Amino acid sequence: MATPPNYDPNAPFDPTNVNDPRYDPSRDPRYDPRWQKAQQRMWRDQMRAQQHQVRATRKAQQQAWKAHSQMQRDQWRAQWGGQRHTSIVGPLLLIAVGVIFFLIHTGRIAMVNFFGWYSHWWPLLLILIGLLRLAEWGIDRARAPQDAPPVRYTTGGGVVFLVILLAIGGIATHAMEWRADNNGVQFFGFHGDDGMQHLFGQKHEEDAPSVEQVISANGSLTIDSPHGDVTITGTSDDGKVHMSAHKQVYTNSDRTATERLRSLQPTLEGSPDSLTLRVPAVDGGGADVTLLVPATTRVLLNSDHGDVHVTNMKSPLSVTSNNGDIEVAAITGNVQVHANNRHRDINIRSVAGDVTVDGTGDEVTLSDITGTAHVNGDYYSGGHFQHIGGESVYHSSRSDVRVAHLAGEMEIGGNELTIGEAVGPMLVQTRSRNITLDKISGDVKVVGNHGDVELHLAPPMGVVTVDNQNGNVNVSLPSKAKFSLQAETSDGDTHSDFDGVKSDGRGMLSGSVNGGGPQVKVNTSHGDINISGNSMPPLPPLPPMPKLTGFGAVGVPSPPTSMPPSAIDAINDAKQQTADAKQQAREAVAQAQQALKDAQEKVREAEKEARDAAKDK
């Protein structure tokens, strides 16, 4: 082997250096199997060490990431926990529930009436809670700095659970009430006379011994009846109160029935100037009481469950009924009625005095009242007024009606409000109802929403104001009347039959008719306005009120004889024309139905022929 340049013979010998002249392959350790194995072991150890180092690094990174995440969560919880406030909803809800149960427990509120109300209005609870939460958020945002984080409110799991229970209770009671309304059953009670008491067992009944008690000429009688009908008639002519009662209990035990019937005896107590009739409250029982009293007795009646009938009295009357129909007739004196049952009716007629009715019920009917008639409350089937000598007032959550004198009828119910033969000043304000006023004189103001207005005026007419939204307005005025007209609609057509009325072509009418007079102002939106004339005669003089009668038929005022013959003939002609028009309409409907049947028969024949032709092919 040639000696390489720069060779140093004194350098240490490297047995693996092939460029060294002293290199001997037999002495090269790399060719030694033992050295190769040692190198492999060293390489494996290095790889293991690297893998351990990678795993340790990865584990350390994971632990560091978990610690950092935990620190961030702790900081987030601390931050949000410091910003979280307890909502006022929970305390208010607990206070309200506590107050309601306290009033029920102390007898201030009847449980049956409360749950009947709650079944109808319970969704307002959720709306109120939402409004409170929204108000809290709004107040906090208004008071906090702009860069401040929002405050979180919490109601707590217990309050949420309570709200869920109240909602479930509201749904359940509403379902029970709906089932009751469709099967003749009330909530926790029945429409029938026996109520829910028949669930307690078989019926046991007996007549109580009659009771007589002397009463002063103008004495007072207070009646407290927890369960049972009460009938009062002012036909006693011996200065005494005559009482009879029919008792009934429900139980499966004859012994229990005997004890309850014995304890159910009504009692009359007090002095002749002030008597009190008390009917004991017995579980599963009640007593129907009939009273004959002097006509001048002042009666104060409180009935919790049962119908009330009062007739032929010549003194003021006050009736409070929580569950039962009320019928009052032939009363000389003021009448006050308070009702609290949406499923029951009130019928008051033939009263020489003022009548005031408040509360809730199904339907209220007032007729032949010489004084004023005031009704305040919600009656779900509406109200009916007829022959009211004084002011008639009907005020509910949906309507407000005031009529100075009602010679005809007023009907309020469903989607209609109609008044016929009335004298103003008159105010009619309602929503989602069609308004029809016929034969009206004097000042009239109508405020409507989502309904049509029909107004037919009779002389003498006064100031007329109609303010309607989303509906047509038709006003019929006496052709010879003097008035000033101003009408406007924002989206509709206008029409007038009177000379002197001008239209600007943009939904407005204005002008003076017959020289001008009382102001007639009509406004509506999204509807047409039609102003027409009529030949309606003045309203006749008011007939005398009918004689006061009891629960039998009440005489109806006879038509006035002071009307001119031409007016009577016109009325008769109008009635005949109306009857002819109805007959023609019925005939037209019958012809249309027959034509429809014929057309359907032809269609069926054509279809049959087409099917037969298809089969032949």
Q: What is the mean pLDDT of residues 48-59?
A: 86
**DSSP bridge pairs for 451:** none
Model confidence at 336: pLDDT above 90? yes
Structure tokens at 190: 């029945």
In 10 A of CB 325, how many CB atoms? 20
Q: Are residues 232 and 174 in the same domain?
A: no
Ranges 103-107, 405-409, 513-517, most confident: 405-409
Q: Are residues 479 and 535 in the same domain?
A: yes
Q: How confident is the model at residue 504 (pLDDT cuts 50, 70, 90)?
A: confident
| Cα gap 444→439, rounded to integer Å | 12
Q: How confident is the model at residue 480 (pLDDT cuts 50, 70, 90)?
A: confident
Residue 425 lies in a domain: yes
Model confidence at 82: pLDDT above 70? no
Residue 587 lies in a domain: no
Q: What is the pLDDT of residue 134?
A: 79
Q: Are residues 402 and 522 in the same domain?
A: yes
Q: Are residues 441 and 474 in the same domain?
A: yes
Q: From 189, 214, 242, give the residue that closes a domain.
A: 189
Q: What is the mean pLDDT of residues 594-606?
A: 69
413-426: pLDDT as tens digits: 888 999 999 998 99
Q: Are residues 430 and 310 in the same domain?
A: no
- Whether residue 384 contacts residue 411, with contact meaning beta carbons closer than 8 Å, is answered with yes
Q: Are residues 184 and 242 in the same domain?
A: no
Q: What is the mean pLDDT of residues 181-204?
A: 48
Q: How confident is the model at residue 181 (pLDDT cuts 50, 70, 90)?
A: very low
Q: What is the pLDDT of residue 452?
A: 93
Q: What is the mean pLDDT of residues 23-31?
A: 69
Q: What is the mean pLDDT of residues 472-490?
A: 91
Residue 368 lies in a domain: no
| Cα gap 251→117, rounded to integer Å | 30
Q: How confident is the model at residue 599 (pLDDT cuts 50, 70, 90)?
A: low
Residue 302 lies in a domain: yes
Residue 344 lies in a domain: no
Q: Which of 81, 168, 78, 89 is nearest to 135 (CA)?
A: 89
Model confidence at 451: pLDDT above 70? yes
Q: Are residues 409 and 305 in the same domain?
A: no
Q: How confident is the model at residue 62 (pLDDT cuts 50, 70, 90)?
A: confident
Q: Give me the number of domains the chain comprises.
A: 4
Residue with tokens 């469903």: 414
354 or 563, higher pLDDT: 354
Q: What is the mean pLDDT of residues 469-495?
A: 90
Q: How confident is the model at residue 95 (pLDDT cuts 50, 70, 90)?
A: confident
Ranges 289-293, 493-497, 578-582, most confident: 289-293
Chain length of the chain = 617
Model confidence at 387: pLDDT above 90? yes
Q: Which domain holds residue 454?
A: 398-550
Q: Are residues 242 and 137 in the same domain?
A: no
Percent of the chain with pLDDT over 70: 73
Average pLDDT, the chain: 80
Q: What is the pLDDT of residue 302?
A: 94
Q: Are residues 136 and 147 in the same domain?
A: yes
211-238: pLDDT as tens digits: 899 999 889 999 999 999 999 999 999 9
Lowest-confidence range among 14-18, 362-366, 421-425, 451-455?
14-18
Q: From 508, 523, 550, give the residue that closes a domain.
A: 550
Q: Are residues 429 and 535 in the same domain?
A: yes
Q: Are residues 176 and 211 in the same domain?
A: no
Q: How confident is the model at residue 184 (pLDDT cuts 50, 70, 90)?
A: very low
132 or 82, higher pLDDT: 132
Residue with tokens 């009273």: 291
Task: Record the pTM.
Answer: 0.59
Model confidence at 156: pLDDT above 70? no
Q: From 324, 347, 376, give the residue that closes a domain.
A: 324
- For the chain, the farthest-separated pair of C-alpha atoms sits apart, in whole angstroms, at 166
Q: Are residues 58 and 159 in the same domain?
A: no
Structure tokens at 298: 């002042």
Strand-pair category, 434-449 with 152-154: unpaired
